[in-house]
Amino acid sequence: MKQQQQQQQQQTVLLGVTGSIAAYKACELLRLLQKAGLRVKVALTEHAQELVGAATFRALSGEPVATSLFDSPGNPINHISLAEEASVLVIAPCTANVLNKLASGVADDLLTTTALATTAPLVLAPAMNARMLRHPRTQASLELLEAAGATLVGPGEGYLACGEEDSGRMSSPEDVCAATLEVLARTQSLAGKRVLITAGPTREYLDPVRFISSPSSGKTGFALAREAAARGASVVLVSGPTDLTSPPGVEYVPVVTARQMLEAASEHFDTCDLAIFSAAVADFRPAEQASQKLKKGASLPSVVPDNDPATVSPAGASLASVASGTASASYSLTLTANPDILATLAARRAATGAKRPYLVGFAAETEDLLSNAREKLKAKGADLIVANDVSDPALGFASSHNQLSFVSKEGSSQTAVLSKEHLARHILDTLTPELC
């Protein structure tokens, strides 16, 4: 009974070991994790057992070692019980075979079925031949797993089993242990906090088939939602149309227009500790929306000739010339301003005198990045502006990487060019002290 209570108080590391010669390093990793106060249970693949036997890990861990889907007659669903016990799943070493299975969702043995069933964070320490590492399929799998929230440790360079000095060597047990402890610390850093995040573009329809929008993919907002949930927060994600799947454990609220996004965000705003407005909201919408598809040359309320003195069009709002029969005609679109979601909700917070939620706005700029971000910080009433230069097509909208500048009353700082998943971690690492 006392042992069961101690196990419940401890966080449990499920250590998966695969068929790489680096499997011997898992023994030292197990010891380091235990010294850090963690309970360690081990799951071995069939090929791993050819290198280091179950008896070794059983002696080191003091726990039963899982080797197959049907290890225990008393527990016929072994992978589910292991998945539920795990505070973190560490696979070290992780071969190219298992790495690619995880990326593809293949579940054909104990370890891969457990990985598919668990909601625990995933730490991977790849180990393989350099040629296998460089293969495009392996590189795609690494990118996919990282995008899904896995923490990759290495691989490093050094002497390989094939006799070459090259990339593919498993990182040291000390590095893998440190990464595991960091992941476990993050899983509790926002426990008990409520986080509101807006993401993606909004769409403002001219007619049933045409709309005003932006190239935003929603990747940053979804990465933030995934990371906040992984840190124990209760997350509401309000998103415009994207091709992304809602992260597990997140309350997902799909919207289309800016006004719908404001309404949805308003419902959750007052109960949140942190509100991150990362959506690329359309600043304008058509003054009127046609009920049917606009035809070339048609006279409809929302489309009028350029020379009509009643038309008021903001700079840059003119539509491109369109052909009308055999003649060429120009049309102007009358736009009206959308509500400013960040400024509206910041004003509501200010009216109550509350300090929460902590407000973070995003600024996508093409010039004068920092000066525009400082102006936005002051005008909107935010606590922090996260700004990025979207003039570089390799960064920002629809890309997998970005470089961000943080602007607050205290000053500014800039990140390196990082994946959006790493940037999400960086943003929440920055914000956590403000909330806790």
What are the CA-CA distances from residue 391 to residues 86, 369, 384, 388, 397 (Å)? 44, 11, 22, 9, 9
Torsions phi, psi for 380 (to 5 deg): -90, -20
Report how far residue 51's alpha carbon sits from residue 223's, in angstroms, rounded to the nearest whole number: 38
CB 96 within 8 A of CB 132: yes
Rounded to 10 deg, the angle between the 96-104 and 136-147 helix axes is 50
- Lookup: tokens for 3: 């042992």
Report how far residue 186's alpha carbon sits from residue 149's, in angstroms, rounded to the nearest whole number: 12
DSSP 77-114: -HHHHHHHH-SEEEEEEE-HHHHHHHHHT---SHHHHH
162 classed as catalytic: yes
199: helix, coil or strand? strand
- Lookup: tokens for 209: 């088939």
SS (H, E, C) 354-398: CCCCEEEEEEEECCCHHHHHHHHHHHHCCCEEEEEECCCCCCCCC
Dihedral sign computed on CA atoms, order 59, 60, 61, 62:
positive
- With a CB cutoff of 8 Å and minimum separation 6, the contacts of 296 are 322, 323, 324, 325
Report how far residue 212's alpha carbon sits from residue 206's, in angstroms, rounded to the nearest whole number: 7
Amino acid residing at 414: Q
Catalytic residue among 162, 177, 272, 436: 162
Peptide bond into 254 cis (omega under 30): no
Peptide bond into 155 cis (omega under 30): yes
Torsions phi, psi for 201 (to 5 deg): -90, 170
Neighbour count for residue 50 (Cβ, 10 Å):
11
β-strand pairing of 274-277 with 358-365: parallel
Which residues are identified as catalytic?
162
